Amino acid sequence: MTPTTAVEHRGRPPAGSGRHGPGEVAGGARSRRAMLALAVVESGRLLRHPAVLAAAAFGAVLLWSSGRHIVPVLSRSDIATQIPLAPLAAAALLATNLAALRAHRDGAEDLYGATGLSLALRTIAHLLSVLALVALAGALVAADLAWLAWVPGRVGAPNPAELATGPALIALCGCLGVLLGRVWRSVTVAPLALAGLAAGSFALNLPGFNNRPVAWLGALRVVHGDPLPAALLGRPASWHLAYLVGGAAAVGALAVAFAVWRGQARAGRDGRAVTATVLVAALAVTTTAAVAQTRPPSPALAARQVATTGRPTAHQVCQRRGPAVYCVFPGFQPQISLWEPTVRAVLGSVPPAVTAAAPPVVVAQRIDQGGMTLQQLALAMAQRKDLRGQAVAPVGTAWGRTGRALGASQLRLAGAVAARIVGLPAPRPPAQPPAHLGEIRISDPAVNARAVVALWLAAQAGPQAAAELRHRMSQMGIVGDVGEAFNLTDQPDWDDPAWGGREGQYALALLDRPPGQVRETLRRNWALLTSPATTRARLAEVFGLQPPPQQGPNQIDDHQLQSTQGTTR
């Protein structure tokens, strides 16, 4: 503070110099230097502010935790950097507001009036100090991307506009903190404004607004579900970045304008003209970007999303690796090496003669249907029904890295591969499209002995897959009747097989047996156990199993062949 004050005194223009004389020009240059010196000091104070330090640490933890579970798809990882930076944006608003109000809080405004730096120049210094927080956010984003780029199997390329959105939000919030400090000399306003902003952005991300372009008027737009191929994203990321940056510039210019008005500034005509020009230009950019980003998505994009869901094979490239053919969306080829061990683990538990005689399993990527409208889903379903071809084992566009996420990915793929190898019929899309978004219709669940065998094979993909199967079955036990059909994924495609709940219970009982013993029995009785005419009771006899106890009100007879029936969740 001391050096700044010294510079300020030296930078004061000589009294009574009304014209642009050489002394005033030199004084102006000194004032700018003093302003930059103040900006440097304020930057340091902002970076050391407890709220900023805590938010930066919290943001770093959020970035780490959001990236550690899934093998990165960088066209989604860039979007995933935005929410973790929201706490830092909140801290920027509060910290810059407190900094702008420091002189008022300390009762030092009269003292500042005796210095050469006008309120407008001090306001600009506060606005410039926000750049330090932007740089901090940029460093966090860069570190996150560098970490994710080293993960084996990562795919895609990040969008620079998405990466810059988080830092731009911090710039907007920092400038807003300064503006609020200039308009209201109260520390109460900033927390309330922050709460209002957060509540507004939260409301715009609720399902009611989720598919409406107006949701882009909020600070950030959250995405759910598995990552989509970049061509299907349809996010106006560049316009949203312009909206945030333009908003930050407009808010900053308003803060300077208020300071000029408040300070009865020694600001010259040039300064006022520059402020007005920046304000008008920033408002123009913000308005244009707001209009552009809230336009409805193009019909071509909607058609592309429908076609990719309805006829995915037309948009995929396939390659044979070992006992399977892998079909992926362009750019997702590195993920094949992540799937291979799972496919090999399942086929490794099948008698070699069966694997050799069977046609290669087709593993095909499917996109998450969660982001589509009901109309798009109906169209895509009609296209899929017309599709004729070999049954496939679907796999999502996201693949887990550790723990439950890895287990869930493995279980979905392994279950689908096992369904193909035991000869279960290919699943069909349900007769009717979903009545509301998020509804999952389970039709034709796999039942009887071969479904039990397939579920046991799926759990052989690895310990995480077995743990995930146990977890899913335990969740079913909590929420409802264990006789209910279930999926092995929360984002099922129409090609994902569904499973009978009783079959799941038998598979868990089989999992408690030594794997080598089960594998040997399976090898000797493969034809019997994978026959559509073999009941669960017969399978229990072959393995010497005690039938698992039934808990639901509707007891199922294990001696009878189970017929399939659809259920809805």
Partner 1 sequence: MRRRWLTRQLRLVPALLVPTARAIGWAPPLAAFALSVGLLVLAVRPGASSAGSLVVWLRITMVVGALGYAFLLDDPSEPTTQAVAGSLLLRRTLRVALLLPATAAWWAAAVWRVRVVHPGVPLPVAALTLEVGALLAITIALAAAGSRLAPERRGGVMAAPTLLAVTGAAILLPARLALYAQPGGPGWAGAHQRWAMLLGCALAAFAVASRDPAHGQVRSRVRNRFRRPARGHEAGRRPPGIRDAEPETTRPVP
Q: Which residues bind partner 1 (CB under 8 A)?
A: 51, 54, 58, 87, 90-91, 94, 98, 105-106, 186-188, 191-192, 194-196, 199-200, 202-203, 206
The nearest distance, CB 354 to partner 1, in angstroms, is: 43
* Vertex 279 angle, CA 273 and 283, to 5°: 150
The nearest distance, CB 178 to partner 1, in angstroms, is: 17
When the beta carbons of 206 and 353 are compared against partner 1, the nearer one is 206
CA 395 to CA 185: how far, in whole Å?
57
The nearest distance, CB 206 to partner 1, in angstroms, is: 8
CA 545 to CA 547: how far, in whole Å?
6
The nearest distance, CB 196 to partner 1, in angstroms, is: 6
Say if residues 567 and 484 touch (Cβ distance below 8 Å). yes
The nearest distance, CB 191 to partner 1, in angstroms, is: 4
Say if residues 88 and 420 touch (Cβ distance below 8 Å). no
State which amino acid sits at residue 311.
R
Say if residues 335 and 227 touch (Cβ distance below 8 Å). no
When the beta carbons of 19 and 436 are compared against partner 1, the nearer one is 436
| 177: nearest Cα among 298, 265, 94, 237 | 94
When the beta carbons of 192 and 280 are compared against partner 1, the nearer one is 192
The nearest distance, CB 219 to partner 1, in angstroms, is: 15
CA 404 to CA 412: how far, in whole Å?
12
DSSP 475-537: HHHHHS-TTS-B-S-SS--TTSPPB-HHHHHHHHHHHTS-HHHHHHHHHHTHHHHTSTT--HH
The nearest distance, CB 177 to partner 1, in angstroms, is: 12
When the beta carbons of 142 and 199 are compared against partner 1, the nearer one is 199
CA 483 to CA 505: how far, in whole Å?
9
The nearest distance, CB 502 to partner 1, in angstroms, is: 25
The nearest distance, CB 203 to partner 1, in angstroms, is: 6
Q: Report the DSSP pairing between strands 567-568 and 317-321.
A: unpaired
When the beta carbons of 87 and 166 are compared against partner 1, the nearer one is 87
When the beta carbons of 17 and 402 are compared against partner 1, the nearer one is 402
Dihedral sign, CA of 11, 17, 18, 22? negative
When the beta carbons of 169 and 364 are compared against partner 1, the nearer one is 169
When the beta carbons of 21 and 196 are compared against partner 1, the nearer one is 196
Q: Which residues of 201-219 are buried (b: 16+ CB within 10 A; e: fewer)?
A: beebbeeebbeeeebbbbb
CA 466 to CA 290: how far, in whole Å?
49
The nearest distance, CB 66 to partner 1, in angstroms, is: 13
When the beta carbons of 200 and 296 are compared against partner 1, the nearer one is 200
CA 340 to CA 157: how far, in whole Å?
23
Beta bridge partners of 319: 326
When the beta carbons of 58 and 526 are compared against partner 1, the nearer one is 58
